[in-house]
Amino acid sequence: MSKSLDDVFKLYPPRPEAAFRKIIESLEPYGERIILDKNDIFDVNFRSTKPRVYLIVEGEFSVHRRSDSLIIATGKGPAFCGLIEYVQQRGFQFCKPLSQCVVVVVHADVAVQAITEHNLWKEISIIMMWYVQMLSARDEHLVGVSAYSMLKNKLIEIMDYPVERRRSISVASYVISRTMLSRSTIMRMLSDLLEGGYITMEKGKLLDMKNLPEKY
């Protein structure tokens, strides 16, 4: 893959890794470590549960809109969720592991106190600003754009995964779960891209991709 294509495949701003690591390392002693498997749920709806902050030490996870289970974001450890919900309880999302996750559960009031005691609000601010940038970049490619633009940007996302991870992703399922496009629409556009030599697929998995057309 050429360097220019590598640049194209970066849709989102870089993660503030140092800030995430500092938060996890500082708060981990205050919680209980658990293992979550695929299809488990760590719920941040604090209207029905006690407020907790989930520190994802290792593993990949997805964030879903509660109303229709649409995947609105994916992430990997080190990361955390639940802090925003503690500040303003809306109950509009839940999280699910995409792989086995090592998670530390901290009572939210304890987490907030520890953040203050360890002077971590700067790191929290850096991470929150990154979240806003991420959501803005995501919406730029999903809101008010054509079905092809949605597919195109999801293909770019998939190409940004490591090769082994990419070969485990069903392109159609990935796009459906993140855009709500119909399977027939997705398969028709993928078929045309295959025929045009823009993508290479095997058993529904994306193997390679060239510069995609701007318009369908």
Distance CA 161, CA 164 (A): 8
Of 1.10.10, 3.30.70, 1.10.3470, 1.25.40, the CATH number of 147-209 is 1.10.10
Do 147-209 and 14-141 have the same topology in CATH? no
| 3-state SS assignment for residue 17 | helix
Cα separation values, 66 from 19, 33, 96, 99, 175, Å: 28, 25, 12, 20, 18
- Res 4 pLDDT > 70: no
At residue 66, the pLDDT reads 84
- For residues 179-188, give the mean pLDDT: 94
Q: Encode pLDDT of 83-137 as tens digits.
A: 877 776 666 788 899 999 999 999 999 999 999 999 999 999 999 999 888 888 8
Q: Is 206 helix (H, G, I), strand (E, B) or coil?
A: strand
14-141: CATH superfamily = Jelly Rolls (2.60.120.10)
Mean pLDDT check: name the lowest of 99-103, 160-164, 184-188: 160-164
Give the three-class secondary structure for 86: helix
126/137 Cα distance (integer angstroms)? 17
Residue ranges in 63-166 assigned as alpha helix (H): 83-87, 108-117, 121-140, 147-159, 163-166
Per the prediction, the chain carries an average pLDDT of 87
The residue ranges of every structural domain in the chain are: 14-141, 147-209
pTM of the entire predicted model? 0.77
Percent of the chain at pLDDT exceeding 70: 90
